[in-house]
Every structure is written in structure tokens, then in C-alpha cells.
Chains A and B, each alone.
Chain A
Amino acid sequence: MKISRRDFIKIGAKGLLAGVAFSSVPFLLQGLVKNSSRAIAADGGGLERHNWGFICDNEKCIGCGRCVVACKKENKVPWEPEFNRTWVERYIITEDEKIYVDSPNAGRDGFQDFPPKLDVPESEVWKSFFVPKLCNQCHRPPCVTVCPVGATYQTHDGVVLIDQDHCIGCRYCIQACPYGARFFLPELGVVDKCTWCYHRINRGLIPACVEVCPVGARIFGDLNDPAGTLKTTLAQKRFYVLKPELGTEPKVSYIGFEKGVY
């Protein structure tokens, strides 16, 4: 059979189209199945019943670092200070309103053995406070937007999770998170971050860091529950979120916020 070039190109193009269409069938089916089965929370009912929220109270935090340790143990986060799902920062503001920040070992070992190596004479310190940090579970998470394979996703109860069996380790999400909440696990070749202990909250428990905080500086709860501690605390206090100008709509609210805290 003799085919002209024109025919050849035509046949080729058709073949290509058919191939693409055919090979996408399994994914379409998969997608249908996935979308049709509703995720069920452990306490019964759909996930969307809850809308989890978090409060960090800078006025209460004493910088003991127990939350950092508890998180590392609970979530098998590497012990080294470069890997953190949560950490604590210390802010020192001097009389002349200069701001110094540090977080020795991410606050894991507390701060008492760490006089600030910041060249600030004690007499000049005007005020000082601690700020606990963790993933904000942004309502509009940029990390989810940029993940090329959808390994980072948002659950119906408003938590951002990573499917580590799917993550390809491109680390775009680390660049996109404005809060430094994400880190790369070199051993696994994938990214990790705080999940608000999703495995616990799904079973009616509270996150490990909230559980161990001796002064109640961390409050976890359901934004849909008007009588819950979270909502009532938010009703009584002035609060603020980190970098609101970026439009990420963080769900960690800070009480005792101060200018210069990012």
C-alpha cells in the first residue's frame, strides 16, 4: 500500500488522539469513583461537619518547647533541629524598638540555657515574648495550588495534608508556603509538614502539642462549634493572623500579636 505524506500525517494525528483518549479512560473512571465515595469522619458523618481551627496565645506561651518535643515524638519527625512541624520563636524588642528574633534548636530544648546571643544588654530589653509556629492550614493554601501532581490537598474538614506515597519531591510547595511550615525529608525524598495531628483529631483527640502545653497557649477546636473553647475564646479576644496580605487566609489565630511578627 502506498500512503501519501498527507495521509500519513492524518493517520498519525488520528492515532495519537485516539491513543490519548483511550489511555485517559482509567483515570476518568478512577476520578468518578473517588468523587462519589464520601469520606467519613471517625465520629460518624461527613468530614465537612467540622471546620478545624487553632489558636496560639503569645501572651501565655513560656517557651518551654514541650510542644516541639511532643510533636517530634508523636509524628516521628527527625530529632535534628532542621526538621520541624512546629517550633517556637522568641522575640526581643529593645528600648529603641529594634526587634531581635531567635529560635535555638527550633525551641526544642526550651530557652533557659540560651541567653540570647544577640548582643542585647539586659538593661536595654524593653519587652520579650514567645510565638509558637505551625502550619496555618490555610483556607486558600498556596502549597496546594502549586503541587504539580496533587499530592498536597485539602480535606473537607479544612486540613491540608500530603500524600507521601504520591509526592514526587519537587519541593515547589516548600517555596510556595509563606510561613516556612514545610520541610523535605531527604531519607524518604518527600515533603512533610504539620497536619494538626490529623490521625488524632479524626478520632476525637486533640493535637499532641495542644495536649502537652502546660499553660494552655495552644487551643484547638471546631470553628463550626459556637459553644466550643475555640470559638468562645475568639469571641472574647482580639486576634490576628500571620501575613494576611498574601490572601492565604490562615486558620491559626494569634492572640497577643505584635508588630514585626511574621
Chain B
Amino acid sequence: MTGFIFPNEGVIEWDLLIVIYPYITGLVAGAFVVSSLYHVFGLTRLKPVARFSLITALAFLLVTPLPLVVHLGRPERALEMFLTPNLTSAMSAFGYIWFFYLIILVAEVWLVFRPDIVRYASSSEGTRKTVYTALALGMNTLTEESLTVDRRLIKVLSFIGIPVAFLLHGYVGFIFGAVKANPWWSTPLMPIIFLLSAIVSGIALLIVVYLIVTRLRRAEVEHRCFHFMALWLGGFLTVGVVLEGLEVFSMLYEQEESWQIISQLLTQRIAFTYFGIQFVLGSLLPLLLLAATALFKMEERFKTGLAFLSSVLVLIGVFAMRWNVVIGGQLISKSLRGFTSYAPPLWGLNGIVVASIILLLPFIVLAVLIYFIPPWQEEIKPPERRGLGYRASGLR
């Protein structure tokens, strides 16, 4: 603590768990956008990851409410958000938007994977057969006609899905942006900044996970698709960085009363995570690397490596951005005269360990999903019953 803070401000109330919450929803939105670029906008180069991005979005969406519920002082009352919503609260919409989006996503995943599921149901036996038969929900026809209907529905769903995904994440930005009491949060740009960083982080995640899983499967990396994703990453990243810069620049230029404390926040309190990680390491460096891959001739392997590295950096940078917003905003005292301090504890419900476990969960869910409904399209065979490991991906 430095300077003067109001006596009640000694504790950071929205801690690490609330940092990872927008991080996760952002990944959902971003992954979904990639799948929609294929399903709605027909960017066929993304076909190899279209199905994969869809189940990635689902895996992360399933985990989204967890950090929120764990963070509640009274988690057992969490359902009150559904039962007695106060509609003027941005937060009360979370449950509904999340649920609506879940329905859309599950329906879309089901439609996309239905042909596979039906095939598995007829070719496997025992419990597996039961599972797949149940998953098929009795819709076993795979005629050209029924598949056309499926495709149309998929298109409609991804079409509805885009605004809902944007809503899910843009609204997270709104939760912060609409707090007029907090000068570091209160800007109408916040939802848009959150959205762009969400898309950026989602694409980066897909690049990273796609490359790792492909290596594990010992399959070929689809270079065209891979670099296409990297290109989109670079594009969205540029817009994102410009917007974030614009936000701070206008604060600097307007020189409102609160600027003094905000400039202290940026230069003293979160200088490392803000300038160091969010801007240099997580934005500028990956932009330069991506530009290099696009501009210079280099070996394919090297190029892939650089795009991978950029994506990892972007993922770190976006995490830092969430941190700088959520924690940074609370470090400022509302007396505008001082700062609280915060270091996340290692143990405990809101500690680093629990947060890491929550961040790891979607990957486990994703592995399970890949095991049951492999998204790769080179071959469609019922997954063999093997131990875990890369074979769990159900291929080869």
C-alpha cells in the first residue's frame, strides 16, 4: 500500500480467478470465430481446423462458469443468477448468454459430428456402441438429403453463434467498462478491446494446440491452413494493439483528474506486466515475427516455428492484458491518492494452484472430446480402445 487508500480497500476483491475468467471466455470466442470463418464465410483454407476449433470452443465454454462460481462468497447461491436476475446488472446476463451459447455450440457440434457418430454406432460394439447410439439420438439417416439439411442448419447455427460469441465476450468487457467508479476500467472501448484480444488469443490457442496435437499424432501439418491462421492472427493483433494504444493515448491526451494516478499505475505499479509483457513481449514481438514470416523467404519448418512462437507469446500477452485490466484497475484507490498491492497466494481457493488447475481443465475436456469424436478428417474410423497417450486421439 502506498499513498492513501480508503480503509475498506485493503483487499483486492476480484482476484486471480477473475483474471482467468475473461481469459477463458476470450479463448472460446476466438476459437469459435475461426470455425465460423470456415462454416459461414467459406474460408476453405481453414477446413482442417474447422471441426477442431469447434470442439475447442466447447471444451473451454464448459469450464467458463467454474472460476466465477469458485470465486463467489456464497457459491451455493450461484443459481440465483438464473432465478432472481436483476436485469439492470450486466452480470446477471452471464448465465443466460452462457446457456444460450452452450445450446448453440452443442447443437452445432452434434450436427457437424453426426455422420461420424452414426458411423461409429454401426461399426463399434459393446458399451461404445451404446454410447454412440445414444449420442446419435436416433437420427441415423445419412442420406445426401439429410446431410444437406445438416449443413444448412450448421450454417444457421454458426451464423447465430457469431453474435452470441461476441456477446459472451464483449459483455465481459462491458462488465469492466461500465464501472464508472473506476477510471482505469471506465471506457466504452473496453468491450471492443476485449473482443479483439479474445479473437487474437483464440486463434493463437488454436495454432498452438493444433501444432502440438498434430505432432503428437505424427500427422502432417497443413501448412496452408496453419499460415492462414497466422495471417489472421497478425491482422487482428494489429487492430487490437492500435485500439489498446488509442485508449491509453486518449487518457493521456485528455489529462483528466484521474490521469495522474493512471500514469503512476502504468509506470510504477504494472510497468512490467503492461509495457514489458502485454506490449513488447505479447504484441510487438509477435507482430514482428509474424511480419518476418510473411515478408522473408525461409524454410517451412522455420516459418512454422516462428508462427508457433508468436502464438505462445500472444497467449502470454493476452493473459497479461487480463491481469493488467482486472488487477490493475483494483490497485488504484478510488480516493485517487494511492495504491493497494496484490500478489496471488499459492494455495487456497483463489490461489495459483487452483487457478492453474482450472486453466488446465479445458485441455482435459478437449482431450476427452477428441477421444470420442476425433475432429480430423483424413480418415474416419471408430477409435480403437487403447491406453491414453497420443493414440487416445483416436487415430492411427
- Residues of chain A touching chain B, judged by Cβ–Cβ distance below 8 Å, are 3, 5-6, 8, 27, 81-84, 87, 89, 100-103, 105-106, 133, 142, 144-150, 166-172, 174-186, 188-191, 246-247, 262
Beta-carbon contact of B8 and A27 below 8 Å: no
Q: A174 near B179 (CB under 8 angstroms)?
A: no
Question: B73 contacts which of A144, A150, A190 (Cβ < 8 Å)?
Answer: A190
* 8 Å CB interface, B53-110 against A: 68, 71-75, 77-78, 80-81, 83-86, 88-92, 94
Given A171-B73, A176-B181, A190-B73, is A82 in contact with B137 using a C-beta cutoff of 8 Å? no
A257 to B336, CA, bound (A): 17
30 inter-chain pairs at a CB distance below 8 angstroms, sorted by A residue, are A5-B146, A6-B149, A8-B137, A8-B138, A82-B11, A87-B7, A89-B4, A100-B4, A142-B179, A144-B88, A145-B88, A146-B88, A148-B81, A148-B89, A148-B94, A150-B84, A168-B72, A168-B74, A168-B78, A170-B68, A170-B73, A172-B89, A176-B179, A179-B6, A179-B334, A180-B335, A182-B8, A183-B8, A185-B73, A262-B334
Contact A168 B77 (CB under 8 A): yes
Q: Let me know if B378 is at the binding interface, CB within 8 A.
A: no
Closest 7 CB pairs of A and B: A169-B73, A189-B73, A180-B6, A178-B181, A106-B7, A150-B86, A148-B91
Bound CA–CA A147/B80 (angstroms): 11
Kindly report which residue of chain A lies nearest to residue B3, judged by CB atoms. A101
> Hey, which chain B residues are within 8 Å of A82, CB to CB?
7-8, 10-11
Chain A residues with Cβ below 8 Å from B89 are 145-149, 172
CB distance from A93 to the nearest CB of B (A): 13
**A101-B335 in contact (CB<8A):** yes
Interface residues on B, range: 35 or more
CB distance from B64 to the nearest CB of A (A): 15
Complex Cα spacing A148 to B91, Å: 5
**Chain B residues in the interface with A (C-beta under 8 A):** 4-11, 13-14, 68, 71-75, 77-78, 80-81, 83-86, 88-92, 94, 137-139, 141, 146, 149, 175, 178-182, 330, 333-337
Other-chain contact of A169, B74, B85, B86, B180 (Cβ < 8 Å): B74
A178 touches B180 (CB 8 A): yes
Complex Cα–Cα for A103 and B4 (A) = 8
- CA A167 to CA B73, docked complex, whole Å: 9
Judging by beta carbons under 8 Å apart, are B74 and A246 in contact? no
- Chain A minimum-CB-distance residue to B334: A180
A180–B8 contact, CB under 8 A? yes
Q: What B residues does A179 contact at CB under 8 A?
A: 6, 334
When C-beta atoms are compared, the residue in chain B nearest to A193 turns out to be B8
Residues on the B chain within 8 Å of A169, using CB: 72-74, 77
Return the chain B residue nearest A177 by Cβ: B181
Question: Given contacts A166-B77, A168-B73, is CB(A142)–CB(B10) below 8 Å?
Answer: no
Q: How far is the CA of A56 from the CA of B266 in the complex (A)?
A: 35
Return A38 CB to nearest CB of chain B, in Å: 21
B84 to A166, Cβ gap below 8 A? yes
| Chain A residues whose CB sits within 8 angstroms of the CB of B73 once the complex forms | 167-171, 184-186, 188-191
A106-B7, A144-B88, A262-B335 known, 12 other contacts, Cβ within 8 Å: A3-B138, A8-B138, A100-B4, A142-B179, A145-B88, A149-B84, A149-B85, A150-B84, A168-B73, A169-B77, A174-B13, A185-B73
